[in-house]
Amino acid sequence: MAYVEEPRENILESSTFLYSKSSLRVFGLWPYQEPKQRLFCRTSTAVLIGSLLIPTICIVLEQWRNFDYVVLGLPSFLYYVEFVTKYMYLAVNHKKLEQIFGHIKNDFDTRKGRKLEILNDYATETRLFNHIYAVVVMFNLSFYQSHVLDLIMPLNESRPRPIPRLARYYVTSLDESFNFVVLHGLVIDWYSMIFFLGHDTLLVNCAQHACALFKIVINDIQDCLEVQKNDKADDEDQVYRRISNTIDLHKRALEFTMVDKMYMYVNLCIIGVSLLAITLSQYQTVIHLDNTDLVIRYSFFSIGELVHILYFNWPGQRIRDHSLSIYQAWYIQSRLLQLKNLTAASLEPMLNIAVTTANGIEMTSPIGARNY
């Protein structure tokens, strides 16, 4: 009786893409959504984010001569500038993301044996990092805890309750309502953080898959040496085929690193905005050390931004490290393999290194194929 392989789980429906899929669907950014649903979600997002971003801009413009007001309102404004930048990036590159998802699904459906194990190992690692990041993102909202408690069970109702966020709604009842400002800010902040969670975990998923393909390439290079060690004449064609397949796989891996290349200018903008927001937040913390509530809120905000910068740039460093490992493996093995019939043109793709700078990809060839 012939063995029939059980159908594999769709990787895009698995827990590896749990945060990306669940979060991005809410914002109409998941590539496989129905067009009508996507339009509705994107319109809802524009309305909700605009309902807080516009009042924030208004208060900053209205009080632009008051330095303290401007500095106090800018961190919130910069936070939502970061949101809009990332959101527009995903919306513009919708088709590209759909193509990348198709490649990821195809890799998990067609790879077998050791190669499939490597893909699964990296997917497991991805899930762990994403779970940790999700906890950090949600914990960052704890700076609202004191204001929520003021709403639920105030300890001293005669105590003045400071407005936690500067915003101008141009409706007196709303501008002076502590409850409305707190609830509105809390809902929109939670909503925006769900997006950041989906966006950043998506980047990590793609980068980890590229790293898994790089790892497979390294193993294939080492396998070529094992075949050559047999010292059989009829093995030479097999070595050629292995190297040809390895080069093709390496090209596929470089396609995934293009996700990071698309992030190059976005990432530079995000880093600048985040660092400016952190600087302004800590400035407010230093000059208001007597205000415990403000110190706690801005400290949590700064810590969250630092973690966000770290997590946002970590995938690019992973790609760089794995790509350099390919070069090192090829350099070592090429000294041992005596494959004189391989042309420089056929070796060139293997010698390309994906060098990640600010999450952008620059292709270089540090050692030409002629050296081999």
Evaluate if pTM is beyond 0.85.
Answer: no
Number of helices (H), then strands (E), in the chain: 12, 2
- Written as one string, the DSSP assignment of 79-117 is HHHHHHHHHHHHHHTHHHHHHHHHHHHHHHHH--HHHHH
Cα–Cα distance, 126 to 208 (Å, whole number): 7
Instruction: Encode pLDDT of 110-145 as tens digits.
Output: 888 888 899 999 999 999 989 988 888 777 666 666
Residue corresponding to tokens 């009042």: 55
Instruction: Encode pLDDT of 219-234 as tens digits.
Output: 877 776 665 555 554 4
Instruction: Encode pLDDT of 143-202 as tens digits.
Output: 666 666 666 766 665 656 666 677 888 887 887 787 788 888 888 988 998 998 998 898
Largest CA distance in the chain: 92
3-class DSSP state of 3: coil
Can you point out the beta strands (E) in the chain? Answer: 353-357, 360-364
Domain locations along the chain: 18-154+162-364
